[in-house]
A = this chain, B = another copy of it.
Amino acid sequence: MLDDFIRKLRLQGPMRDDDEALLRHLPHRLVSLSRADEVAHDGDIVTQSCIVTDGFLQRQKVAQDGGRQILSFQPPGDAPDLFSLQLGKMDHALVATSPAQVAMVQHSDLRAACRQSPTLNDLLWRDTLIDAARGRYWLLMLGRAEALTRMAHLFAEMYLRMRMIGRVNQGSFDFPVTQGDLADALGHSTVHANRILQGLRRRELLAFDGHRVTVPGWERLKAFAQFDASYLHYTDERAGA
């Protein structure tokens, strides 16, 4: 069940076999989620973290005026609230983007594993930092990139991340989000998200039907989105190619 997580950690740095064993023996409880289910609410005090095993979660934050900003989409293999192991408190909500499945792990068990193995401690720390690096890149996109590039970049990142966990088949992968979700992630209105998607399809950079993304030419999309995979900090040489 934690296969994707372990696979991703291995892509992000060297993992000792005994650390993998420690992870595999982590007690966990599988939970199935429907779209919009909240794994954790903004402000919650939490004592467990989750690992996405199927579907997508998203981080989101609702502003005073009711506007919603989606801070990230988290594909399988992600541990989107691993940070709470150290912070203990949510500063945003963690919500199921689509029907999803997560493995819940107690902080006490994670802490015990980290104490037992400093190298596992480092692997997890590293994962939370790569997560932050993705956030920084998203910041760059929101601040500087124009609409088409921004949207293209989001899809390029998802494409590569899904490919790295083996979930891309013939240039296409599941990504069940609404255009409203995309708009809230990119800081646009729903109407404009719709028009951007049409623009990307017209340019034959990607097609998206609300459930599945198809990338006809990865190199073309990469170039258009000015996508440079180095911020994902994969140590594997094939990454991003």
Q: Which residues of A contact B (CB under 8 A)?
A: 43, 59, 61, 63-65, 67-69, 71, 83, 86-87, 89, 91-92, 114-115, 118, 121-122, 125-126, 128-133, 135-140, 142-145, 184-187, 226, 230-231, 233
Contacts and interface: CB of A to CB of B under 8 A. Distances in A.
Given A65-B144, A87-B130, A139-B142, 15 more contacts: A63-B140, A67-B144, A69-B139, A83-B129, A83-B133, A89-B230, A89-B233, A91-B137, A121-B121, A128-B129, A128-B132, A132-B135, A135-B135, A135-B139, A143-B187
Contacts of A67: 144
A161 to B, nearest CB: 16
Contacts of A122: 86
A69 B138 contact: no
Contacts of A231: 91
A121 to B, nearest CB: 7
Contact of A131 (B121, B125, B132, B137): B132
B137 A139 contact: no
A43 B121 contact: no
B139 A91 contact: no
A119 B133 CA distance: 24
Contacts of A128: 125, 128-129, 132
A230 B226 CA distance: 35
Most chain B Cβ neighbours within 10 Å, of A118, A136, A139: A139
Contacts of A69: 139-140, 143-144
